[in-house]
Amino acid sequence: MKKIAALLCFNLFISTLASASSDLPTPELTAAQIVEKSVAARGGLEAWRKIETMVWIGHVENSQASASTLPFVLEQKRPNKTRFEIEAQNQLSLRLYDGSHGWKLRPGSNGAHELQPYSDLELSFAQDGQGIDGPLIDYKAKGILVALEKSEEVEGRDAYLLHVKLPSGANQHVWVDAQSFLEIKSDRESRNAFGQLGSVSIFYRDYRTVDGVKMPFVIESIRDTANTTNKMVIEKVSLNLPLADRLFSKPSAPGQRNGVLPDARRFVLNSSP
């Protein structure tokens, strides 16, 4: 009887494991099929190809910042130009990348703004940024390789884990929701200010539709080498606004000024549809 009871317990244990594993999506789809479904879920390849510029207005919530929210404006232009302005205590900080070179403008210890070029690490990260639409949309044209690793849960949701290899040789992981096929998480290697190697995990939440394409309105990043989180909350998105190339070029160092944007540009962005 003891042997029979033990056998029944063992069979129950095995069936429980089998049931638990079957809850996860079986990788019946190929990596290419998962990416195709993900692109379709976000509005389709042609819709994304029509986007030449993208502007986000919102605020950043930092777990260690003295201010509860830090207003920002992120402007992007194809193929890979980026301008990021953020305000803290009425002081402007600015990061620009023109597709080849990057600069950062921020308040110095004496109150005046200091202009510095990107470090080699910052430049490498900017070059791997993949511009407006990320690594999965039009990945073949970008020279990106995508492979399916496995299926697993992310915050209680079934997801496909994709391994993404960029043209630079850098590797990333992207998790795609098995039901909605929207990207819900990604991670990449990173180094902190002390040169420590670690990783940054990025979670994509609150997807909304803007002019036919879907994008997350909450992006939360967590660095494993520090007990800090950054949450980017997007309040407004504008597509295909005219953005001059000079907005992404090397700036002169201005004095202190209030507001993230000059009043004229603020009006244009806030009044756009």
CA triple 225-229-232, angle to 5 deg: 140
> How large is the average pLDDT for residues 15-42?
72
pLDDT: is 197 or 189 the higher one? 189
> How large is the average pLDDT for residues 146-162?
95
Residue 147: Cβ within 10 Å count = 12
> How large is the average pLDDT for residues 96-101?
94
Q: Assess whether the previous peptide bond of 117 is cis (omega < 30° from 0).
A: no
> How large is the average pLDDT for residues 34-41?
97
196 has a pLDDT exceeding 70? no
In whole angstroms, give the CA distance from residue 249 to residue 102: 8
Nearest to 98 by CA among 122, 61, 127: 127
**Amino acid identity, residue 154?**
V
pTM, two decimal places = 0.80
When the pLDDT of each residue in the chain is averaged and rounded to a whole number, the result is 81
pLDDT (0 to 100) of residue 267:
43
227 has a pLDDT exceeding 70? no
Q: Which of 78-92, 140-154, 212-226, 254-268 has the lowest mean pLDDT?
A: 254-268
pLDDT (0 to 100) of residue 131:
81
Is the domain defined by 29-271 classed in CATH 2.50.20.10? Answer: yes
